Amino acid sequence: MLTFKYQNLIKGKIVFDEKSRRDFDFLREQFKTENASTKFMKSYRFSVNPFTYVITPLGSYNIGITDELCKKCEELNIDYEIEEELLKLIKPSLNIDKILDVPNKKYQYRWYQKQLLEALLDNGRGVIISPTRSGKSLILAGLCHNIFQSYIQNKKQNILLLVPNINLVFQMAEDLEEYGLGEFYNIQMFTAKTMNKKGAKVKVDKFNIYIANSQYLLLHGDELPFIDVIICDEVHQQTKGSEISKIIKSVKISNKFGCTGTLPKSLVDKWNISGTFGPVLDEIEIQSLQEEGILANVKIYPIKFNHKVKENFKKIDPDELVGLTKEEIEDKKLEIYKKAYQKESIYLGTVESTNKKALNLCKKIIEEHPTWNALILFDFTEQGQQLFNLLDFENKHYVDGSVDVLDRKEIIKEMNAPEGGHITVAQSKTFAVGLTIKNIEVVCIMTNQSSPTKIIQSIGRGLRRVEKNTLIVLDFFHNYQYSEKHFFERTELYKQFYGLEFGKDYKVKEVII
Protein backbone atom coordinates (compact mmCIF):
# COMPACT_ATOMS: atom_id res chain seq x y z
CA MET A 1 0.00 0.00 0.00
CA LEU A 2 1.13 3.55 -0.77
CA THR A 3 0.75 6.07 2.05
CA PHE A 4 0.49 9.77 1.27
CA LYS A 5 2.03 11.68 4.15
CA TYR A 6 2.45 15.28 5.23
CA GLN A 7 6.03 16.48 4.78
CA ASN A 8 5.57 20.25 5.13
CA LEU A 9 3.15 22.95 3.95
CA ILE A 10 4.40 22.72 0.36
CA LYS A 11 5.50 19.08 0.05
CA GLY A 12 3.87 15.70 0.44
CA LYS A 13 5.60 12.33 0.45
CA ILE A 14 4.62 8.84 -0.70
CA VAL A 15 5.83 6.14 1.69
CA PHE A 16 5.74 2.42 0.80
CA ASP A 17 7.18 -0.91 1.79
CA GLU A 18 9.20 -3.17 -0.50
CA LYS A 19 6.09 -5.07 -1.57
CA SER A 20 4.62 -1.86 -2.97
CA ARG A 21 7.77 -0.75 -4.78
CA ARG A 22 6.37 -1.77 -8.18
CA ASP A 23 3.15 0.18 -7.53
CA PHE A 24 5.17 3.26 -6.61
CA ASP A 25 7.37 2.99 -9.69
CA PHE A 26 4.33 2.46 -11.90
CA LEU A 27 2.57 5.52 -10.45
CA ARG A 28 5.71 7.61 -10.84
CA GLU A 29 5.96 6.63 -14.51
CA GLN A 30 2.44 7.97 -15.13
CA PHE A 31 3.59 11.44 -14.11
CA LYS A 32 6.60 11.95 -16.30
CA THR A 33 7.11 13.80 -19.54
CA GLU A 34 9.96 14.23 -21.98
CA ASN A 35 12.55 16.78 -20.90
CA ALA A 36 12.45 19.46 -23.61
CA SER A 37 16.08 20.41 -23.00
CA THR A 38 17.40 16.89 -23.62
CA LYS A 39 18.15 17.40 -27.31
CA PHE A 40 19.97 20.67 -26.64
CA MET A 41 21.98 19.29 -23.71
CA LYS A 42 23.02 16.19 -25.63
CA SER A 43 24.31 18.34 -28.45
CA TYR A 44 26.71 19.89 -25.96
CA ARG A 45 27.73 16.52 -24.49
CA PHE A 46 25.96 17.02 -21.17
CA SER A 47 24.45 14.07 -19.35
CA VAL A 48 20.77 14.78 -18.69
CA ASN A 49 17.70 12.78 -17.67
CA PRO A 50 15.46 12.51 -20.76
CA PHE A 51 12.34 12.79 -18.57
CA THR A 52 10.89 15.22 -16.03
CA TYR A 53 9.07 13.58 -13.10
CA VAL A 54 6.42 14.96 -10.75
CA ILE A 55 7.47 12.52 -7.99
CA THR A 56 11.09 12.24 -6.90
CA PRO A 57 12.72 8.79 -6.52
CA LEU A 58 12.26 9.16 -2.74
CA GLY A 59 8.55 9.92 -3.07
CA SER A 60 8.48 13.68 -2.53
CA TYR A 61 6.09 15.85 -4.60
CA ASN A 62 4.33 19.24 -4.56
CA ILE A 63 1.38 18.99 -2.23
CA GLY A 64 -1.28 20.48 -4.52
CA ILE A 65 -1.16 17.53 -6.92
CA THR A 66 -2.11 14.97 -4.24
CA ASP A 67 -5.69 14.69 -5.48
CA GLU A 68 -4.52 13.95 -9.03
CA LEU A 69 -2.08 11.30 -7.81
CA CYS A 70 -4.79 9.60 -5.76
CA LYS A 71 -7.21 9.56 -8.68
CA LYS A 72 -4.54 7.88 -10.79
CA CYS A 73 -4.07 5.27 -8.04
CA GLU A 74 -7.78 4.48 -8.19
CA GLU A 75 -7.65 4.25 -11.97
CA LEU A 76 -4.69 1.81 -11.76
CA ASN A 77 -6.19 -0.18 -8.84
CA ILE A 78 -3.28 0.75 -6.58
CA ASP A 79 -4.09 0.59 -2.86
CA TYR A 80 -3.37 3.83 -1.03
CA GLU A 81 -4.23 5.84 2.06
CA ILE A 82 -3.90 9.52 3.00
CA GLU A 83 -2.80 10.71 6.41
CA GLU A 84 -5.30 12.94 8.24
CA GLU A 85 -2.79 15.79 8.54
CA LEU A 86 -2.29 15.79 4.77
CA LEU A 87 -6.04 15.67 4.10
CA LYS A 88 -6.50 18.94 5.96
CA LEU A 89 -3.91 20.62 3.77
CA ILE A 90 -5.05 19.42 0.36
CA LYS A 91 -8.61 20.64 1.04
CA PRO A 92 -8.31 23.42 3.64
CA SER A 93 -11.99 24.47 3.54
CA LEU A 94 -12.78 28.04 4.60
CA ASN A 95 -15.89 27.01 6.59
CA ILE A 96 -18.37 29.26 4.78
CA ASP A 97 -22.01 28.22 4.94
CA LYS A 98 -23.53 30.96 2.80
CA ILE A 99 -21.95 32.80 -0.14
CA LEU A 100 -22.15 36.57 0.36
CA ASP A 101 -22.58 39.02 -2.51
CA VAL A 102 -20.01 41.80 -2.89
CA PRO A 103 -20.85 44.96 -0.91
CA ASN A 104 -22.01 46.94 -3.97
CA LYS A 105 -25.45 45.40 -4.54
CA LYS A 106 -25.43 46.65 -8.11
CA TYR A 107 -23.31 43.58 -8.89
CA GLN A 108 -24.83 40.11 -8.59
CA TYR A 109 -23.10 36.83 -9.44
CA ARG A 110 -24.24 35.06 -12.55
CA TRP A 111 -24.93 31.34 -12.06
CA TYR A 112 -21.49 30.26 -13.25
CA GLN A 113 -19.68 32.90 -11.19
CA LYS A 114 -21.39 31.68 -8.03
CA GLN A 115 -20.64 28.07 -8.99
CA LEU A 116 -16.92 28.83 -9.39
CA LEU A 117 -16.80 30.88 -6.20
CA GLU A 118 -18.42 28.06 -4.23
CA ALA A 119 -15.83 25.62 -5.58
CA LEU A 120 -12.97 27.85 -4.39
CA LEU A 121 -14.44 28.44 -0.92
CA ASP A 122 -15.45 24.80 -0.40
CA ASN A 123 -12.00 23.46 -1.25
CA GLY A 124 -9.82 26.21 0.16
CA ARG A 125 -7.29 25.91 -2.67
CA GLY A 126 -7.32 25.08 -6.37
CA VAL A 127 -7.80 26.50 -9.85
CA ILE A 128 -10.88 27.63 -11.76
CA ILE A 129 -11.06 28.04 -15.55
CA SER A 130 -13.47 30.62 -16.90
CA PRO A 131 -13.35 32.30 -20.33
CA THR A 132 -11.83 35.71 -20.88
CA ARG A 133 -14.50 38.43 -20.50
CA SER A 134 -16.66 36.18 -18.25
CA GLY A 135 -16.17 38.39 -15.18
CA LYS A 136 -13.37 36.72 -13.21
CA SER A 137 -12.64 39.94 -11.28
CA LEU A 138 -16.09 39.74 -9.66
CA ILE A 139 -15.34 36.17 -8.59
CA LEU A 140 -12.02 37.27 -7.05
CA ALA A 141 -13.70 40.19 -5.29
CA GLY A 142 -16.29 37.78 -3.90
CA LEU A 143 -13.52 35.42 -2.79
CA CYS A 144 -11.75 38.19 -0.84
CA HIS A 145 -15.00 39.46 0.69
CA ASN A 146 -16.17 36.02 1.84
CA ILE A 147 -12.76 35.13 3.30
CA PHE A 148 -12.66 38.32 5.37
CA GLN A 149 -16.27 37.96 6.49
CA SER A 150 -15.42 34.50 7.88
CA TYR A 151 -12.59 35.91 10.03
CA ILE A 152 -13.90 34.41 13.29
CA GLN A 153 -13.61 30.86 11.89
CA ASN A 154 -10.49 31.27 9.78
CA LYS A 155 -8.43 34.25 11.09
CA LYS A 156 -7.38 35.30 7.58
CA GLN A 157 -6.52 38.98 7.30
CA ASN A 158 -3.82 39.47 4.61
CA ILE A 159 -4.57 38.50 1.01
CA LEU A 160 -2.03 38.83 -1.81
CA LEU A 161 -3.77 39.24 -5.17
CA LEU A 162 -1.10 38.62 -7.79
CA VAL A 163 -1.58 39.82 -11.38
CA PRO A 164 0.83 39.48 -14.34
CA ASN A 165 1.51 43.11 -15.21
CA ILE A 166 1.33 46.72 -14.11
CA ASN A 167 -1.85 47.42 -16.12
CA LEU A 168 -3.75 44.84 -14.15
CA VAL A 169 -2.60 46.14 -10.76
CA PHE A 170 -4.45 49.40 -11.35
CA GLN A 171 -7.37 47.76 -13.12
CA MET A 172 -7.89 45.17 -10.37
CA ALA A 173 -7.82 47.91 -7.71
CA GLU A 174 -10.42 49.88 -9.65
CA ASP A 175 -12.58 46.76 -9.99
CA LEU A 176 -12.44 45.98 -6.25
CA GLU A 177 -13.35 49.59 -5.44
CA GLU A 178 -16.22 49.41 -7.93
CA TYR A 179 -17.51 46.24 -6.25
CA GLY A 180 -17.53 48.07 -2.90
CA LEU A 181 -14.60 46.36 -1.16
CA GLY A 182 -12.68 49.60 -0.59
CA GLU A 183 -15.26 50.74 1.96
CA PHE A 184 -14.50 47.78 4.24
CA TYR A 185 -10.92 46.71 3.54
CA ASN A 186 -7.51 48.28 3.03
CA ILE A 187 -6.61 47.88 -0.66
CA GLN A 188 -2.99 48.63 -1.57
CA MET A 189 -1.27 48.55 -4.95
CA PHE A 190 2.38 47.57 -5.40
CA THR A 191 4.38 47.64 -8.61
CA ALA A 192 8.14 47.58 -9.11
CA LYS A 193 7.94 50.93 -10.94
CA THR A 194 6.37 52.68 -7.95
CA MET A 195 8.96 51.43 -5.43
CA ASN A 196 12.04 53.35 -4.42
CA LYS A 197 15.34 51.59 -3.75
CA LYS A 198 14.47 50.94 -0.11
CA GLY A 199 10.92 49.93 -0.88
CA ALA A 200 7.80 51.48 0.61
CA LYS A 201 6.18 51.02 3.98
CA VAL A 202 3.25 48.65 3.89
CA LYS A 203 0.20 49.82 5.77
CA VAL A 204 -1.20 46.98 7.85
CA ASP A 205 -4.84 47.01 8.96
CA LYS A 206 -6.96 44.14 10.16
CA PHE A 207 -8.06 43.27 6.63
CA ASN A 208 -5.61 43.94 3.80
CA ILE A 209 -5.70 43.19 0.09
CA TYR A 210 -2.26 43.67 -1.44
CA ILE A 211 -2.44 43.84 -5.24
CA ALA A 212 0.96 43.30 -6.86
CA ASN A 213 2.39 42.41 -10.23
CA SER A 214 4.91 39.62 -10.71
CA GLN A 215 7.85 42.00 -11.07
CA TYR A 216 7.13 43.58 -7.71
CA LEU A 217 6.99 40.21 -5.99
CA LEU A 218 10.33 39.22 -7.50
CA LEU A 219 12.05 42.41 -6.32
CA HIS A 220 10.25 43.36 -3.11
CA GLY A 221 8.23 40.33 -1.98
CA ASP A 222 10.18 40.13 1.29
CA GLU A 223 8.87 43.58 2.27
CA LEU A 224 5.27 42.38 2.50
CA PRO A 225 3.94 41.23 5.89
CA PHE A 226 2.86 37.64 6.46
CA ILE A 227 0.36 36.57 3.78
CA ASP A 228 -2.55 34.30 4.76
CA VAL A 229 -3.98 33.76 1.28
CA ILE A 230 -2.55 33.98 -2.25
CA ILE A 231 -4.86 34.55 -5.22
CA CYS A 232 -3.15 34.39 -8.62
CA ASP A 233 -4.93 35.85 -11.62
CA GLU A 234 -3.92 34.51 -15.06
CA VAL A 235 -2.37 31.50 -13.34
CA HIS A 236 -1.44 29.93 -16.69
CA GLN A 237 1.68 32.10 -16.57
CA GLN A 238 3.04 30.18 -13.57
CA THR A 239 5.19 27.90 -15.70
CA LYS A 240 7.71 25.46 -14.31
CA GLY A 241 11.11 26.99 -13.76
CA SER A 242 9.90 30.61 -13.73
CA GLU A 243 11.22 32.59 -10.78
CA ILE A 244 7.79 33.89 -9.79
CA SER A 245 6.43 30.34 -9.70
CA LYS A 246 9.26 29.29 -7.39
CA ILE A 247 8.44 32.13 -5.00
CA ILE A 248 4.73 31.31 -4.80
CA LYS A 249 5.49 27.63 -4.37
CA SER A 250 7.83 28.39 -1.45
CA VAL A 251 5.24 30.37 0.55
CA LYS A 252 4.21 28.02 3.36
CA ILE A 253 0.46 28.54 3.45
CA SER A 254 -2.30 26.20 2.37
CA ASN A 255 -4.83 28.67 0.88
CA LYS A 256 -3.57 29.27 -2.66
CA PHE A 257 -6.01 29.99 -5.48
CA GLY A 258 -5.58 30.41 -9.22
CA CYS A 259 -7.85 31.46 -12.06
CA THR A 260 -7.35 31.58 -15.81
CA GLY A 261 -9.12 31.40 -19.15
CA THR A 262 -6.88 28.61 -20.43
CA LEU A 263 -4.20 26.32 -19.09
CA PRO A 264 -0.80 26.04 -20.81
CA LYS A 265 -0.20 23.30 -23.38
CA SER A 266 2.78 21.75 -21.60
CA LEU A 267 2.08 18.90 -19.18
CA VAL A 268 5.03 19.99 -17.05
CA ASP A 269 3.52 23.47 -16.68
CA LYS A 270 0.08 22.06 -15.88
CA TRP A 271 1.55 19.81 -13.18
CA ASN A 272 3.50 22.74 -11.80
CA ILE A 273 0.31 24.80 -11.48
CA SER A 274 -1.69 22.02 -9.82
CA GLY A 275 1.26 21.14 -7.58
CA THR A 276 1.38 24.72 -6.30
CA PHE A 277 -2.28 25.73 -6.22
CA GLY A 278 -4.21 22.48 -6.26
CA PRO A 279 -6.44 20.73 -8.81
CA VAL A 280 -8.73 22.30 -11.38
CA LEU A 281 -11.99 22.56 -9.43
CA ASP A 282 -14.35 23.63 -12.19
CA GLU A 283 -14.31 24.85 -15.78
CA ILE A 284 -16.82 26.96 -17.67
CA GLU A 285 -16.68 26.56 -21.45
CA ILE A 286 -16.80 29.51 -23.83
CA GLN A 287 -19.48 27.89 -25.98
CA SER A 288 -21.92 27.57 -23.08
CA LEU A 289 -21.66 31.33 -22.40
CA GLN A 290 -21.99 32.10 -26.10
CA GLU A 291 -25.20 30.05 -26.26
CA GLU A 292 -26.60 32.06 -23.35
CA GLY A 293 -25.75 35.34 -25.04
CA ILE A 294 -23.19 36.32 -22.39
CA LEU A 295 -20.19 36.23 -24.73
CA ALA A 296 -20.04 37.16 -28.40
CA ASN A 297 -19.88 34.55 -31.13
CA VAL A 298 -16.64 34.25 -33.10
CA LYS A 299 -16.25 34.35 -36.88
CA ILE A 300 -12.85 33.26 -38.21
CA TYR A 301 -11.48 34.64 -41.50
CA PRO A 302 -8.08 33.07 -42.32
CA ILE A 303 -5.99 34.88 -44.96
CA LYS A 304 -2.97 33.07 -46.39
CA PHE A 305 -0.20 35.03 -48.07
CA ASN A 306 1.17 32.79 -50.82
CA HIS A 307 4.74 33.84 -51.62
CA LYS A 308 5.82 32.79 -55.12
CA VAL A 309 9.47 33.18 -54.13
CA LYS A 310 10.42 31.98 -50.63
CA GLU A 311 13.42 32.49 -48.39
CA ASN A 312 15.28 29.41 -47.13
CA PHE A 313 16.09 29.83 -43.43
CA LYS A 314 17.63 26.36 -43.11
CA LYS A 315 20.18 26.86 -45.86
CA ILE A 316 23.70 25.83 -44.83
CA ASP A 317 26.78 27.41 -46.39
CA PRO A 318 29.15 24.50 -47.30
CA ASP A 319 32.15 26.75 -46.58
CA GLU A 320 31.11 26.93 -42.91
CA LEU A 321 31.44 23.13 -42.62
CA VAL A 322 34.98 22.90 -43.95
CA GLY A 323 37.36 21.40 -41.41
CA LEU A 324 34.63 20.39 -38.95
CA THR A 325 34.26 16.90 -37.51
CA LYS A 326 31.11 14.88 -38.09
CA GLU A 327 29.82 15.73 -34.61
CA GLU A 328 30.58 19.44 -35.09
CA ILE A 329 28.69 19.42 -38.40
CA GLU A 330 25.63 17.93 -36.67
CA ASP A 331 25.88 20.59 -33.96
CA LYS A 332 26.08 23.30 -36.62
CA LYS A 333 22.99 21.97 -38.40
CA LEU A 334 21.09 21.79 -35.12
CA GLU A 335 22.00 25.40 -34.36
CA ILE A 336 20.76 26.57 -37.76
CA TYR A 337 17.50 24.63 -37.49
CA LYS A 338 16.88 26.09 -34.05
CA LYS A 339 17.25 29.63 -35.36
CA ALA A 340 15.03 28.98 -38.40
CA TYR A 341 11.78 29.66 -36.52
CA GLN A 342 13.08 32.95 -35.13
CA LYS A 343 14.42 34.05 -38.52
CA GLU A 344 11.15 33.13 -40.22
CA SER A 345 9.09 35.03 -37.65
CA ILE A 346 11.21 38.19 -37.92
CA TYR A 347 11.21 38.06 -41.71
CA LEU A 348 7.46 37.46 -42.14
CA GLY A 349 6.61 40.00 -39.45
CA THR A 350 8.34 42.77 -41.38
CA VAL A 351 7.37 42.06 -45.01
CA GLU A 352 5.99 45.47 -45.97
CA SER A 353 3.73 44.27 -48.80
CA THR A 354 1.84 41.71 -46.69
CA ASN A 355 1.62 44.03 -43.70
CA LYS A 356 0.09 46.73 -45.92
CA LYS A 357 -2.52 44.30 -47.28
CA ALA A 358 -3.48 43.17 -43.77
CA LEU A 359 -3.73 46.75 -42.51
CA ASN A 360 -5.81 47.87 -45.50
CA LEU A 361 -8.31 45.07 -44.90
CA CYS A 362 -8.62 45.97 -41.22
CA LYS A 363 -8.94 49.68 -42.07
CA LYS A 364 -11.63 48.97 -44.69
CA ILE A 365 -13.74 47.06 -42.13
CA ILE A 366 -13.56 49.93 -39.61
CA GLU A 367 -14.38 52.51 -42.30
CA GLU A 368 -17.45 50.49 -43.26
CA HIS A 369 -18.43 50.27 -39.56
CA PRO A 370 -17.34 53.63 -38.05
CA THR A 371 -18.39 52.75 -34.47
CA TRP A 372 -16.28 49.58 -34.38
CA ASN A 373 -12.79 49.19 -32.91
CA ALA A 374 -9.99 46.88 -34.04
CA LEU A 375 -7.05 45.31 -32.21
CA ILE A 376 -3.99 44.26 -34.24
CA LEU A 377 -1.70 41.93 -32.30
CA PHE A 378 1.99 41.50 -33.08
CA ASP A 379 4.94 39.64 -31.54
CA PHE A 380 8.04 41.82 -31.50
CA THR A 381 8.74 45.57 -31.44
CA GLU A 382 10.23 45.92 -34.92
CA GLN A 383 7.12 44.32 -36.41
CA GLY A 384 4.77 46.48 -34.33
CA GLN A 385 6.48 49.75 -35.19
CA GLN A 386 6.36 48.94 -38.90
CA LEU A 387 2.66 48.08 -38.68
CA PHE A 388 1.90 51.31 -36.82
CA ASN A 389 3.88 53.46 -39.27
CA LEU A 390 2.25 51.81 -42.30
CA LEU A 391 -1.27 52.21 -40.90
CA ASP A 392 -2.88 55.20 -42.60
CA PHE A 393 -5.64 55.88 -40.08
CA GLU A 394 -6.43 58.91 -37.93
CA ASN A 395 -7.47 57.25 -34.66
CA LYS A 396 -4.61 54.81 -34.26
CA HIS A 397 -2.72 53.76 -31.12
CA TYR A 398 0.43 51.80 -30.36
CA VAL A 399 1.25 49.68 -27.31
CA ASP A 400 4.31 47.65 -26.37
CA GLY A 401 6.14 47.12 -23.09
CA SER A 402 7.75 50.56 -23.22
CA VAL A 403 4.45 52.49 -23.27
CA ASP A 404 3.62 54.01 -19.87
CA VAL A 405 0.73 52.47 -17.95
CA LEU A 406 -1.15 55.80 -17.82
CA ASP A 407 -0.94 56.09 -21.61
CA ARG A 408 -2.27 52.54 -21.92
CA LYS A 409 -5.21 53.44 -19.67
CA GLU A 410 -5.97 56.45 -21.88
CA ILE A 411 -5.98 54.19 -24.97
CA ILE A 412 -8.35 51.77 -23.25
CA LYS A 413 -10.58 54.70 -22.28
CA GLU A 414 -10.77 55.88 -25.89
CA MET A 415 -11.51 52.38 -27.18
CA ASN A 416 -14.29 51.98 -24.60
CA ALA A 417 -15.95 55.21 -25.76
CA PRO A 418 -19.31 54.59 -27.50
CA GLU A 419 -18.36 56.45 -30.70
CA GLY A 420 -15.66 53.86 -31.55
CA GLY A 421 -13.56 54.15 -34.69
CA HIS A 422 -10.14 53.25 -33.22
CA ILE A 423 -7.42 50.83 -34.31
CA THR A 424 -4.81 49.75 -31.74
CA VAL A 425 -1.58 48.03 -32.76
CA ALA A 426 -0.53 46.12 -29.65
CA GLN A 427 2.11 43.62 -28.59
CA SER A 428 0.36 40.38 -27.68
CA LYS A 429 2.27 39.75 -24.45
CA THR A 430 1.57 43.32 -23.28
CA PHE A 431 -2.04 43.84 -24.31
CA ALA A 432 -3.57 40.42 -24.74
CA VAL A 433 -3.98 39.46 -21.09
CA GLY A 434 -6.62 40.52 -18.62
CA LEU A 435 -7.50 44.05 -19.78
CA THR A 436 -11.10 45.25 -19.75
CA ILE A 437 -11.85 46.62 -23.19
CA LYS A 438 -15.58 46.56 -23.80
CA ASN A 439 -15.73 47.51 -27.45
CA ILE A 440 -13.59 45.43 -29.79
CA GLU A 441 -15.28 44.12 -32.91
CA VAL A 442 -12.23 43.03 -34.92
CA VAL A 443 -9.09 41.17 -33.78
CA CYS A 444 -6.23 40.75 -36.27
CA ILE A 445 -3.75 37.99 -35.46
CA MET A 446 -0.37 38.94 -36.94
CA THR A 447 1.64 36.67 -34.63
CA ASN A 448 3.56 33.57 -35.69
CA GLN A 449 2.49 31.40 -32.76
CA SER A 450 0.00 28.74 -31.69
CA SER A 451 0.18 28.93 -27.88
CA PRO A 452 -3.36 28.20 -26.57
CA THR A 453 -3.08 30.74 -23.77
CA LYS A 454 -1.80 33.55 -25.97
CA ILE A 455 -4.22 32.98 -28.86
CA ILE A 456 -7.37 32.42 -26.81
CA GLN A 457 -6.52 35.30 -24.47
CA SER A 458 -5.90 37.53 -27.49
CA ILE A 459 -9.26 36.72 -29.04
CA GLY A 460 -10.80 37.10 -25.60
CA ARG A 461 -10.13 40.85 -25.71
CA GLY A 462 -13.16 41.13 -27.98
CA LEU A 463 -15.52 38.53 -26.53
CA ARG A 464 -17.51 40.91 -24.38
CA ARG A 465 -20.96 41.30 -25.90
CA VAL A 466 -22.01 44.96 -25.78
CA GLU A 467 -23.96 45.84 -28.92
CA LYS A 468 -22.28 43.33 -31.22
CA ASN A 469 -23.25 39.68 -31.47
CA THR A 470 -20.16 38.49 -33.34
CA LEU A 471 -16.43 39.11 -33.06
CA ILE A 472 -14.49 39.05 -36.34
CA VAL A 473 -11.06 37.38 -36.19
CA LEU A 474 -8.70 37.92 -39.12
CA ASP A 475 -6.01 35.24 -38.90
CA PHE A 476 -3.08 36.09 -41.21
CA PHE A 477 -0.45 33.47 -42.06
CA HIS A 478 2.07 32.65 -44.81
CA ASN A 479 3.04 29.61 -46.89
CA TYR A 480 6.17 29.11 -44.78
CA GLN A 481 6.91 26.09 -42.59
CA TYR A 482 6.23 27.41 -39.09
CA SER A 483 3.63 29.99 -40.08
CA GLU A 484 1.51 27.36 -41.83
CA LYS A 485 2.11 24.76 -39.11
CA HIS A 486 1.02 27.17 -36.38
CA PHE A 487 -2.07 28.21 -38.30
CA PHE A 488 -3.29 24.61 -38.44
CA GLU A 489 -2.55 24.26 -34.72
CA ARG A 490 -4.73 27.33 -34.18
CA THR A 491 -7.55 25.65 -36.11
CA GLU A 492 -7.57 22.97 -33.41
CA LEU A 493 -7.98 25.71 -30.80
CA TYR A 494 -10.86 27.25 -32.74
CA LYS A 495 -12.57 23.88 -32.73
CA GLN A 496 -11.84 23.17 -29.07
CA PHE A 497 -12.91 26.54 -27.69
CA TYR A 498 -15.48 27.86 -30.17
CA GLY A 499 -16.77 24.70 -31.87
CA LEU A 500 -15.66 26.03 -35.28
CA GLU A 501 -14.41 23.43 -37.76
CA PHE A 502 -11.89 24.23 -40.46
CA GLY A 503 -13.37 23.75 -43.94
CA LYS A 504 -16.92 23.74 -42.59
CA ASP A 505 -17.33 26.94 -40.58
CA TYR A 506 -14.52 28.88 -42.24
CA LYS A 507 -12.20 28.55 -45.23
CA VAL A 508 -8.85 30.03 -46.20
CA LYS A 509 -8.66 32.91 -48.65
CA GLU A 510 -5.33 32.98 -50.51
CA VAL A 511 -3.51 36.13 -51.55
CA ILE A 512 -0.66 35.75 -54.06
CA ILE A 513 2.49 37.70 -53.18
Q: List the CATH number of the domain containing 36.
A: 3.30.780.20
Number of domains, the chain: 3
**pLDDT value at residue 257:** 97
> 111-135 in b/e burial notation, b at 16+ Cβ within 10 A?
ebbebbbbbbbebbbbbbbbbbbbb
Domain that holds residue 218: 111-284
- Residue 13: strand, helix, or coil: strand
CATH number for the domain that contains residue 475: 3.40.50.300
pLDDT tens for each residue of 262-316: 898 889 999 999 999 999 999 999 999 999 988 999 999 999 999 999 998 877 7
Nearest to 139 by CA among 103, 113, 110: 113
Does one domain contain both 317 and 440?
A: yes
104 inside domain: no
Residues 362 and 279 in one domain: no
Q: Final residue of a domain: which of 90, 124, 144? A: 90
Query: What is the rounded average pLDDT of the residues 327-338?
Result: 75
Residue 231 belongs to some domain of the structure: yes
H/E stretch holding 34 reads strand 32-34
Residue 101 maps to a domain: no
Model confidence at 142: pLDDT above 90: yes
Q: From 238, 246, 241, 258, select the one nearest 221 (Cα to Cα).
A: 246
Same domain, 76 and 163: no
- For 17, other C-beta atoms within 10 Å of its C-beta total 10
Query: Is 98 a member of any domain?
Result: no
* Residue 97 is assigned to a structural domain of this protein: no
Domain identity same for 379 and 303: yes
Q: Are 208 and 280 contained in the same domain?
A: yes
Task: Give residue 3's identity as a one-letter amino acid code.
Answer: T
Q: Does one domain contain both 242 and 328?
A: no
Sign of CA dihedral 372, 378, 382, 383: negative
- CA-nearest of 464, 453, 481, 470 to 505 is 470
487 assigned to some structural domain? yes
Are 200 and 143 in a shared domain?
yes
- Residue 100 counted as domain residue: no
> Do both 279 and 307 map to the same domain?
no
Domain assignment of residue 175, yes or no: yes
State the pLDDT confidence band at 434, using cuts at 50, 70 and 90: very low
CB atoms within 10 A of CB 47: 6
User: Using one digit for the tens of pLDDT, what is the confidence trace for 443-472?
Assistant: 999 988 777 777 888 788 788 776 668 999
pLDDT digits (tens, 9 = 90+) for 34-76: 876 555 444 444 455 678 899 999 999 999 999 999 999 999 9
Residues 337 and 220 in one domain: no
363 and 403, same domain (yes or no): yes
Q: What is the pLDDT of residue 235?
A: 92
Same structural domain for residues 158 and 248?
Answer: yes
Q: What average pLDDT score do residues 86-100 get?
A: 91
Query: In this structure, are 365 and 499 located in the same domain?
Result: yes
